[in-house]
Amino acid sequence: MKFQSTRNASPNLGFRDAFASGLAPDGGLYLPESLPCMPDTLLNGDTSSYASLAFEFLRHFDTDHSPEELKALIDRSYEGTFDDPATAPLKKLADNLFVLELFHGPTLAFKDFGLQLVGNLFEDQIQRSGQSINVLGATSGDTGSAAIHGLADKKGVNVFILYPKGRISPLQERQMTCTEADNIFPIPIEGSFDDAQLIVKELFGDLEFKAQVGLSAINSINLARVLAQSIYYFHAWAQLPQSARANDPTFVVPTGNFGNILAGWLAGKMGLPAQHFSIATNRNDILYKLFTTGRYQVGEVHSSLAPSMDIQVASNFERFLFYQLNGDGKQVAELMQNIKQGADLQIPDFDCDSFAATHSSDQEITALIRQVYEKYDYIVDPHTACAFKDLDPSRTNIVLSTAHPAKFPDTIEQAIAVHPTHPALEKLKSRTPVCYEKPAQAKAIREFILANQA
Ligand SMILES: *Cc1c(COP(=O)(O)O)cnc(C)c1O
C-alpha cells in the first residue's frame, strides 16, 4: 500500500516513509491511495484480542514490515499496556445507549491508542536507520502526556514537550513530569499554548537545526495515529449486540482536531456498517457551525471545561476535505490556505449527510455530567459529557469516552460532589516532578535541545 498527499504534489510513499515524514513535502497530509474493504471477521468479534484485530486491520496498510514484525509491534503497543482485558470495552447504559471506553491506556485518554503504536514505530525506525531522533511538540494537555508515555525509556529518542506554565491541569502536568524516564524533557514556558506552538513551528522551520538533531513531530496529523484510531470502531461494532446493530447506530465523538471522528468515518468507508457520526464540541463550536451550515469561520479559541477540544483550526479536517473535493489536491491546498489565514468561507458542495453536530457550553457540560450520573449511575469526563447532548433516542448511540473522569476531578466534583480517583494518578502523587522551566523564546529551547539531544 502506498500513501498520497492530500495536496497531490508529493510522491506517494510506503507506510514507513509516510509515517516518518509526518507532513508531506507539499504541506499536505498522507492518506492511503485506496481504502481497502475489511473482511467480516473484523465485525463479528472473531478475532481473539484487540491486538489481533489491530493486526488484521493494519496489515492492509503497513506492507513494509513483515507480518511477524508488524504483529510484534502491535503486541508491544496493546498487550499489557491497557488496564482492561477488552482494551476498549463497550459498556451498556441502556438498550440504545453504549459507551466505548477509550481511557484504559497509560495516560487514561484515547490518544494512547495512537501514541502507543507511534512510540513503537519510532523505536523501529531508529533501530533500522541507526539514527537517533529528538521529538519536539507543544501540548495543552493530553497529547503531550500520551506522547511521553509512548516514548518513555525508548532507546535513541529524547522527547521535548513544551507547555504553558500554570495553564494545564496539575494532574496532566504530573503525567508528564513524573515518568522517571531520563529521555523525557517536559518544558513549562512562561507563556500561552500559542506561544509554545509558535516556538515549535519556528524550530521546525529552521531546517539546519532540524537536520542537525533529527527533529521529529508527534502531532495529531500523524498517519499512524489516524489508522490506529479506526481500529476501535470495528472493535466497538464487534461488541455491539445484534439487536442494537439493527437500529441505525451512530457514533457520537467528542471532537477537537477531528482526528478521532475522521478515523471512524474512514472505517465507515472500509466496511464498518455504521454510517452516522455525530460531532460533539464544547463552546468552541467551529465544527458545529461547519457541519450544520458548510461554512468555515475561524474565530478566537476560548478556554473551556473540556480543554482538549479548545481548538479553532481542526488539523485533520484537511483529510476529510480531500474526499469531499474528490481528490482535487489543488483545491484542497487553496482552501486550507484560506482557512489558515482565518478566512470565512463556504466549502463548495459540502456534503455532510453522514454527520450531525452539537456544541455544549461549560454550564451545559456540568449539567450533562450530573444528568448522566443521575440517570445511569455512570461518571463521564467533561469531554465525554458533550457527547450526551441531544442524543437521538430513536437510534442506537455509541458514545466514545475519550478520557477517564479522574483526570478532571474538580469539574466532576463541582457537578456531582463526587471526587473521582484512579490508581495510576494516585501513584504519581508520591513522585517528585522533574521539569525544565524556560522562557518563551525559540533560542532558549534550541540551546536546551542541543545540550540534551539523544
Ligand atoms: C484530544 C482529545 C479530544 C479531541 O480529539 P480529536 O481527535 O482532536 O478530535 C477529545 N477528548 C479528549 C479527552 C482528548 O484528549
The residue extents of the domains of the chain are 86-109+224-423
Which grid cell sits at 94? 441502556
Indicate which residue's Cα is closest to atom 4 of ligand 1.
256
How far is ligand 1, taken at its centre, from the CA of residue 387, in Å?
12
Indicate which residue's Cα is closest to atom 2 of ligand 1.
308
pLDDT in tens, 22-39: 889 898 999 999 999 999
> What one-character-per-residue DSSP string does 267-308 give?
HHHTT-S--EEEEEE-S--HHHHHHHHSEEE-------SSGG
Mutate to test the pocket of ligand 1, among 103, 111, 388 (most ligand atoms within 8 A of CB): 111
Cell 450531525 belongs to which residue?
356
How far is ligand 1, taken at its centre, from the CA of residue 322, in Å?
22
Mutate to test the pocket of ligand 1, among 101, 103, 110 (most ligand atoms within 8 A of CB): 110
- Residue 250 φ then ψ, to 5°: -120, 135
Protein residues whose CB sits closer than 6 Å to any atom of ligand 1: 109, 111, 142, 220, 254-260, 308-309, 383, 402-403
Does 111 qualify as catalytic in the annotation?
Answer: yes
Cell 458542495 belongs to which residue?
349
pLDDT at res. 378: 98
Q: Name, in order, each residue with C-beta under 8 angstroms of 150's C-beta and a sequence gap of 6 or more.
A: 112, 115, 116, 117, 118, 119, 120, 218
Indicate which residue's Cα is closest to atom 8 of ligand 1.
257
Atom of ligand 1 nearest to the CA of 384: 11
Give Dmax (Cα) for the chain.
60
What phi-psi label fits residue 377: left (phi over 0), alpha (psi between -120 and 50 degrees) or beta?
A: left
pLDDT at res. 314: 83
DSSP 1: -
Closest CA to 291 of 354, 335, 342, 385: 354
Answer for the pair 38, 65: CB distance below 8 angstroms, yes or no: no
pLDDT in tens, 198-250: 899 899 889 899 999 999 888 778 899 999 999 999 999 999 999 999 999 99
Indicate which residue's Cα is closest to atom 1 of ligand 1.
308
Mutate to test the pocket of ligand 1, among 29, 100, 229, 260 (most ligand atoms within 8 A of CB): 260
Closest CA to 55 of 37, 36, 42, 40: 42
pLDDT at res. 7: 97
Reduced to 3 states (helix: H, G, I; strand: E, B; else coil), residue 94 is strand
How far is ligand 1, taken at its centre, from the CA of residue 229, in Å?
12
Atom of ligand 1 nearest to the CA of 254: 10
Give the C-alpha separation, 330 to 336, whole Å: 10
Cell 477537537 belongs to which residue?
256
How far is ligand 1, taken at its centre, from the CA of residue 67, in Å?
31
How far is ligand 1, taken at its centre, from the CA of residue 128, in Å?
32
Give the C-alpha separation, 31 to 12, whole Å: 10
**Of the options 3.40.50.1100, 1.10.533.10, 3.30.420.40, 3.40.50.620, the CATH number for the domain spanning 86-109+224-423:** 3.40.50.1100
Answer for the pair 71, 215: CB distance below 8 angstroms, yes or no: no
Q: What is the pLDDT along the chain (454 residues), one digit of tens a residue?
A: 999 999 999 999 999 999 988 889 898 999 999 999 999 988 887 777 999 999 999 999 999 999 999 999 999 999 999 999 999 999 999 999 999 999 999 999 999 999 999 999 999 999 999 999 999 999 887 889 999 999 999 999 999 999 999 888 888 899 999 999 999 999 999 988 888 988 998 998 898 999 999 998 887 788 999 999 999 999 999 999 999 999 999 999 999 989 999 999 999 999 999 999 999 999 999 999 999 988 888 888 888 999 889 887 788 999 999 999 999 999 999 999 888 887 788 887 787 788 999 999 999 999 999 999 999 999 999 999 999 999 999 999 999 999 999 999 999 999 999 999 999 999 999 999 999 999 999 999 999 999 999 9
Q: Which of 111, 154, 389, 407 is catalytic?
A: 111
Indicate which residue's Cα is closest to atom 14 of ligand 1.
308
Exposed / middle / buried, residue 393 (Cβ in 10 Å: 0-12, 13-18, 19+): exposed
Answer for the pair 358, 309: CB distance below 8 angstroms, yes or no: no
Closest CA to 162 of 450, 451, 448, 453: 448
How far is ligand 1, taken at its centre, from the CA of residue 373, in Å?
22
